[in-house]
Structures are given as structure tokens and as C-alpha cells.
């Protein structure tokens, strides 16, 4: 049951060209910094990345975009990345923008073993083009399929050797949902403790969902935008 691997390079070593990845985090909060850096080092290409956002130009998934490693982004917000914009407008990058709640729920559905969901988000917009709709109690809903990801890569505050995870703050928005949803889930943590040390009442993701875990290092925890009020 010991799921510990030495480091990020070992954790992502079998991620091949063309893989579909879910990457946790919200903005730059709670992103798997070590695993992203390791993926940049591998040079793996043709990736489909499912993430709330695409990082910024020199951090997060933005580093993978710089290396032309990403073939397709599935996101709900991508407004802070000039390289992302350039690749989108030039046709180098395929992009699927979806409502944020739909992104979260499609991840949750995958974790629960549900093939699809119905949601009202996007009805009557371009999001609905080509999608099946159904009316429930007089209201129209879109059929959206659960994500099918080869790997889910998440970052937690604390974890144990059996893969149980505790998240903090905004990192709880997407990391716990994605941790349930990957065929293989990789977790990097700020603090790794022996099994039995975590309070069971505080665990957000049970270890049954996690296949590999390691203690990360040198977290920058960058702030996406700083707003300073004038005196």
C-alpha cells in the first residue's frame, strides 16, 4: 500500500506523447508545480490538458505551452497567458472553453463512474453547438460527457504514504475532484507523513484514488495578479 515515489521525475516518467492530463489548481493556487516542471524536462508532446486555466507565460502550464508540448487545452479561463493567445490565434493550439461549473462537474462525474451529466450551463450559446439536449420539467439541459483522462496530477498541502490527501484554501476547488477522476492519479504534497498520522475527519481525498505520491520541494506559490491600493 506504500505509494511513495522518489520525486516528480519518477512520478511522471510513463506519461507519453498524446496523453490526456488533468491538472489541479485554481489560477496559480494549488498547481502541481513540481510535476509540471518534470513534464517540461521530459519534453513529452501532443498533450491534451484539462485545467481550470492555462497558467501564465512563464509559470504553470504556461511553461508547457512555451515548449509546444500541449496540443489541446480544455479550460474555463485562459486570460493571463499571452503565449496561449498567440498559439490559439495562429491555429497552433486547439482550445475547448467550457463553463467552470461544467468543468468541475465533468471531473466529478468521472470520479463517480458516471458517463455523462445534464447541465443548463451553455444552453442557447455556442457551447451547445452539436450537443444533445433534453428537457426536464420544462427546462432545457445539455448532455456533457465525463472526462476521460489518462492521468490526474494534483497538489495537496499534506498527504500520507497511503495517498490520503488534505488540501488548503483555494486549492480545494479542483484538486479533489480531479484526484478522483484520472486513470492514474499522481499527488505531490508539501508535507508527507506516515500512514495513520492524518486525522481521518480532515482528509479530503481518500488514498484509494491516489496511485503515486511524493513530497515536493521549492514551491514558489506565485500570485497570479497583485493588486495594490493607492494611499
Tell me the per-residue pLDDT of 170-191, one tens digit each, with 9 for 90 and over. Answer: 889 999 999 999 999 999 999 9
Which domains are delineated in the chain? 8-114+147-215 (3.40.1080.10)
Structural element, H or E, at residue 134: strand 133-136
Residue with cell 509559470: 59
Instruction: Report d(CA 102, CA 128) in Å as an integer.
Output: 12
The predicted pLDDT at position 139 comes to 97
Taking the CA atoms of 54, 60, 65 and 68 in sequence, report the sign of the dihedral they define.
negative
How would you classify the pairing of strands 20-23 and 47-50?
Answer: parallel
> How does 66-80 read in b/e, with b if 16+ C-beta sit within 10 Å?
beebbbebbbbebeb
* Mean pLDDT estimate for the chain: 93
What percent of the chain is modeled with pLDDT above 70?
98
Instruction: Report d(CA 138, CA 203) in Å as an integer.
Output: 40
What are the CA-CA distances from residue 220 to residues 37, 78, 167, 197 (Å)? Answer: 12, 21, 17, 26
The predicted pLDDT at position 220 comes to 82
Return the minimum-mean-pLDDT range out of 3-17, 69-83, 144-158, 217-231. 217-231
Tens digit of pLDDT for each residue in 94-131? 999 999 999 999 999 999 999 999 999 999 998 899 99
Q: 10 Å Cβ neighbour count for 230? A: 3
pLDDT at 79 over 80: no
The predicted pLDDT at position 32 comes to 96
Amino acid at each position: 500500500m506504500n505509494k511513495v515515489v522518489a520525486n516528480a521525475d519518477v512520478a511522471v516518467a510513463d506519461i507519453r506523447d498524446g496523453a490526456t492530463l488533468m491538472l489541479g489548481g485554481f489560477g496559480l493556487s494549488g498547481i502541481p508545480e513540481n510535476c509540471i516542471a518534470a513534464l517540461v524536462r521530459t519534453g513529452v508532446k501532443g498533450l491534451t490538458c484539462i485545467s481550470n486555466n492555462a497558467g501564465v507565460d512563464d509559470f504553470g502550464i504556461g511553461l508547457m505551452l512555451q515548449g509546444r508540448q500541449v496540443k489541446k487545452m480544455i479550460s474555463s479561463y485562459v486570460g493571463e497567458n499571452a503565449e496561449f493567445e498567440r498559439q490559439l490565434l495562429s491555429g497552433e493550439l486547439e482550445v475547448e472553453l467550457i463553463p467552470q461549473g461544467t468543468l468541475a462537474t465533468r471531473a466529478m462525474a468521472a470520479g463517480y463512474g458516471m458517463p455523462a451529466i445534464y447541465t443548463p450551463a451553455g444552453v442557447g450559446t455556442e457551447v451547445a453547438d452539436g450537443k444533445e439536449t433534453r428537457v426536464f420539467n420544462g427546462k432545457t439541459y445539455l448532455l456533457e460527457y465525463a472526462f476521460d483522462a489518462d492521468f490526474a496530477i494534483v497538489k495537496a498541502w499534506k498527504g500520507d504514504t497511503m495517498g490520503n490527501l488534505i488540501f488548503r484554501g483555494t486549492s480545494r476547488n479542483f484538486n479533489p475532484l480531479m484526484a478522483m477522476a484520472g486513470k492514474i492519479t499522481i499527488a505531490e504534497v508539501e508535507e508527507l507523513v506516515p500512514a495513520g498520522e492524518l486525522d481521518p475527519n480532515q482528509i479530503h481525498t481518500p488514498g484509494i484514488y491516489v496511485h503515486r505520491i511524493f513530497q515536493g520541494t521549492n514551491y514558489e506559490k506565485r500570485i497570479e495578479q497583485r493588486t495594490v491600493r493607492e494611499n
